[in-house]
Structure 1
Amino acid sequence: MSKDIILKAENISKQYRLGQVGTGTLSHDLNRWWHQVRGKENPYLKIGDTNDRSTKGESDYVWALQDINFEVERGEVLGIIGKNGAGKSTLLKILSRVTAPTTGSIKFGGRVASLLEVGTGFNGEMTGRENIFLNGAILGMTKKEIASKIAEIIEFSGCERYIDTPVKRYSSGMTVRLAFAVAAFLEPEILIIDEVLAVGDAEFQKKAIGKMQDISKQGGRTVLFVSHNMAAVKSLCTRGVVLEHGKVVFEGDITNAVSNYLRGHSEALNHKFFSDDYDYDRFKLNEIFINPKGGIADEVLDEEQIIEFNTRIIIKNNAERLHLTYVLKDDEGVTLFTFSNSKSGIKLENGENTIKCTFPKGFLNIGTYFMDLYLIEDAKITLFTESDIMNFSVQESQRQIGSWLGREPGFIKPMFVWSKI
């Protein structure tokens, strides 16, 4: 079955010149023109630094985007996520035709409506009602088509009392409400929404996300959504693209995309040695390793395995007063549960200890997990704590043909005992 591709980005790159001159000097423009006349490549495409705003570069040119490729199917909701400065807004401006790419091309299969900044496409001197007709005309709609939708737009926006007031007197929240209503109800085939929804209140954000779900599922229209609210991204989007320094570092299922973004540069490992920095008066932390039962620490962990958590630690004195506590968190930093040897009957002793905690088969779902470590004295005094001291991933196991493939809801999958009476 062939895909119904409504938007295709091929080798999209965008180069900017840093400093007070944004696009380059006259000499650079003449140099570009001379190369073009002779049928040669733009000489400035071979220079330029990666878009890392935290470092000092070597060149006056910077690549805001580099070699971006992706496809979007009709009716799909694509989340575009990444840190500030990753290139998200630049990409949306190119997709919205606000600016042109330096290299590459975009193929569209329908009409595009964009909501990139507060008041995008609005004329401040015109009333809200007049701006609705203006935006509709820009989208290629007739006056009759716009008039048939205007009552729904005004009701959804919640700005009825001010609809005949110039938009310049609107608050930013009111402007976003009306702009979103216009973009959503005038039925573009592709709707592009930047972080601008964050300006609205909680009630409107919920309402807007519900509307985007409706237009994608029922209307078969495509939504490109940028937000730093990962809960909104996960609830709305089906697929995600993660940008970093102007490049695509991940593309795929939205749950995995969010995990990739939140994990950042911290690679999921299940074996960690500790340096002399972890040598204290009362103890020395040597090693933490996580392995499948019967396996070694460097093996991949999967959802159908018994998993063993091992901590190797030297206690220098008064071991009977100490216990270890771990806090397990998901990839959004939400605490799932705490586990400790304090009431297990397993005691720490003076000298070297290797203490193990075993999770039953199938207990942890697919995903990336983070652990905080605490060393507690007398069940009340924290001698040591470190957040995210360890992270590890649980992968999908081999499954039978015809079974569910992918991550099921939730973070634990306890194997309860079932019986038939």
Structure 2
Amino acid sequence: MGKIVIKAENISKAYELGEFSTGTISRDLERWWAMMRGKEDPFLKIGEVNDRNKKTDSKLVWSLKDINFEVEEGSALGIIGRNGAGKSTLLKLLSRITSPTTGTIKGRGRIASLLEVGTGFHPELTGRENIFINGAILGMRKAEIKKRFDEIVDFAGVERYIDTPVKRYSSGMYVRLAFAVAAHLEAEILIVDEVLAVGDAEFQRKCMGKMGQVTKDNGRTVLFVSHNVESVKSLCDTAILLHNGRMHENTNLADAIKIYLQQNPENDRGHFVNPNPPVNLEVYFKQAYIKQKGVVTNALFNDAPIDVHCQLQCNIPMKVSLEVIVRDHNGLPLLFGPIGLTQQREHELEPGVHQMVIRLNPPYLAKGSYFLDLIVAETGKRIIDIHESCLGFEIESSFIAASGWSFEHNRGAGAMLLNAFSYFEDELPAVH
């Protein structure tokens, strides 16, 4: 067993909620009338546990509860869980941005963290100045930072703008420089949240390669939060799974990912509603559902097309590409197409709500359970919104299985079938 660099013992984090005031006489009357009829108070607060589906009178909400784990030197730990599971809170505790309510965290070595776009950078200072300030915060000497400076700038690809105030950077430039600083300066522990989604696909590949390098070649430790299970699989040795602020016990990497993919209660109904719409994004999914032969269902047959209906909110005029990835019950991607590869996938959207349909043409899937990822991207540039395994369905019977050929006999490789999908906007051809 290697040297332990992070040890979390019984850590919990609680936040106290202020007194909830309705603010208006009409709402006060609504509360009184509900109580008179013996109904639930419509203004109860969420609390006690980190479960947004439960209401209570408590003034405390436990974002994390009784978390225990150890991280070895030179390892890469993936932290996965649905939105609101407590991942970002845990990273803030490990980064010493905030303190746990109970329990202790012991760390050995300097920590470089990249939790949000803009964290740690002063907007009025240039990229050059921010590199030196971040290095100084990590306890590095000026000579050490100078030695790494050219490598940082080259990795971030911001040579032309290095003497420009970072407030003028795009979000992609900002996160590229922030990651380059965190990854190249001599910190023993690198903590990375989901901010890499801001970068383009090429930069995301560079980041994954760099994080793999710092663990394998440099013996540094990486803590990585992502909804992309393929990234977690490729980078991490171990993983912890959070759900409603609690940690699943005794799960290895494969088991943690499998449980994570099966956690979404909506996917049993073949219907997805975005619980926390990211209203600041240019375009995002509001909801989606699966239809076959005009019926909303998740019990499907392989003799007819499978239609994935998506409702998108677009906030600015832009060209987008819409994709789904089909995964098996273990999270293995089976069917997918590269985003923006063909003009058929590109749609010019104006501000407003748009109804889109992706049709999975038969017969490509064997009998079994499957999950769908939903992805919308700015065509040829970057992923904007992604929801992994947000829809689920069951193939009840399959002509493929009868013929003896199916993806079940070719596990591990996945497939890229460009003719497997068709794309429509608003109008959908009839299915007979």
The aligned residue for residue 258 of structure 1 is 257
The aligned residue for residue 163 of structure 1 is 162
The aligned residue for residue 12 of structure 2 is 13
Aligned 8 A contact 1:77 1:236 in 2:
yes
The aligned residue for residue 24 of structure 1 is none
The aligned residue for residue 88 of structure 1 is 87
1:148 & 1:204 partners in 2: Cα distance? 23
2:198 & 2:253 partners in 1: Cα distance? 24
The aligned residue for residue 386 of structure 2 is none
For residues 58 and 235 of structure 1, do their structure 2 counterparts lie closer, same or farther at Cα, with a shift above 3 Å needed?
Answer: same
Deviations 1:310-348 (A, max 9, x none): xxxxxxxxxxxx9989x99513374476348xxxxxxxx
Aligned 8 A contact 1:88 1:226 in 2:
yes
1:338 & 1:236 partners in 2: Cα distance? 29
Aligned 8 A contact 2:188 2:220 in 1:
yes
Aligned 8 A contact 1:250 1:260 in 2:
no
1:127 & 1:339 partners in 2: Cα distance? 56
Identity of aligned residues (%): 58
2:302 & 2:14 partners in 1: Cα distance? 55
1:258: how far off? 1.1
Aligned 8 A contact 2:332 2:412 in 1:
no
Other structure's SS at 1:225 match: strand
1:339 & 1:99 partners in 2: Cα distance? 49
Other structure's SS at 2:251 match: strand
The aligned residue for residue 76 of structure 1 is 75
The aligned residue for residue 388 of structure 1 is 393
The aligned residue for residue 230 of structure 2 is 231
2:238 & 2:218 partners in 1: Cα distance? 18
Other structure's SS at 1:97 match: coil
1:251: how far off? 4.8
Larger radius of gyration: 1
For residues 201 and 148 of structure 1, do their structure 2 counterparts lie closer, same or farther at Cα, with a shift above 3 Å needed?
Answer: same
TM-score (norm 1): 0.60
2:217 & 2:395 partners in 1: Cα distance? 43
Segment of structure 1 superposing worse, 74-83 or 57-66: 57-66
Other structure's SS at 1:7 match: strand
The aligned residue for residue 33 of structure 1 is none
Deviations 1:267-323 (A, max 9, x none): xxxxxxxxxxxxxxxxxxxxx9xxxxxxxxxxxxxxxxxxxxxxxxxxxxxxxxx99
For residues 48 and 164 of structure 1, do their structure 2 counterparts lie closer, same or farther at Cα, with a shift above 3 Å needed?
Answer: same
Deviations 1:207-261 (A, max 9, x none): 0000000000000000000011111111111111010000002453322211110
**Which consecutive segments of 4 or more residues in structure 1 shift more than 6 A?**
322-325
Deviations 1:96-136 (A, max 9, x none): 00011000111111110000000111111111000000000
1:196: how far off? 0.6
1:388: how far off? 2.7
Aligned 8 A contact 1:12 1:101 in 2:
yes
**Correspondence list, 1:16-55, <5 A:** 16-19=15-18, 49-55=48-54
1:59: how far off? 1.0
1:178: how far off? 0.4
1:20: how far off? 6.7
Aligned 8 A contact 1:250 1:257 in 2:
no
The aligned residue for residue 190 of structure 1 is 189
Q: Which of 359, 365, 383 is matched with 1:338 structurally?
A: 365
Return the letter of the residue paired with 1:204: F
**Correspondence list, 1:3-402, <5 A:** 3-19=2-18, 49-264=48-263, 330-331=328-329, 332=331, 334-335=333-334, 338-339=365-366, 370=369, 388-389=393-394
1:371 & 1:183 partners in 2: Cα distance? 38
For residues 74 and 57 of structure 1, do their structure 2 counterparts lie closer, same or farther at Cα, with a shift above 3 Å needed?
Answer: same
For residues 157 and 20 of structure 1, do their structure 2 counterparts lie closer, same or farther at Cα, with a shift above 3 Å needed?
Answer: farther
1:17: how far off? 1.5
1:390: how far off? 7.9
2:72 & 2:366 partners in 1: Cα distance? 44
Return the letter of the residue paired with 2:393: D
CA RMSD of aligned residues (A): 3.3
Other structure's SS at 2:8 match: strand
For residues 201 and 265 of structure 1, do their structure 2 counterparts lie closer, same or farther at Cα, with a shift above 3 Å needed?
Answer: closer
1:143 & 1:323 partners in 2: Cα distance? 64
Aligned 8 A contact 1:251 1:257 in 2:
no
| Uncovered stretches (5+) of structure 1, i.e. residues with no partner | 22-46, 267-287, 289-321, 341-368, 373-385, 392-407, 413-421
1:387 & 1:17 partners in 2: Cα distance? 36
For residues 323 and 149 of structure 1, do their structure 2 counterparts lie closer, same or farther at Cα, with a shift above 3 Å needed?
Answer: closer
1:20 & 1:251 partners in 2: Cα distance? 39
Return the letter of the residue paired with 1:330: D
For residues 145 and 237 of structure 1, do their structure 2 counterparts lie closer, same or farther at Cα, with a shift above 3 Å needed?
Answer: same
For residues 387 and 126 of structure 1, do their structure 2 counterparts lie closer, same or farther at Cα, with a shift above 3 Å needed?
Answer: closer
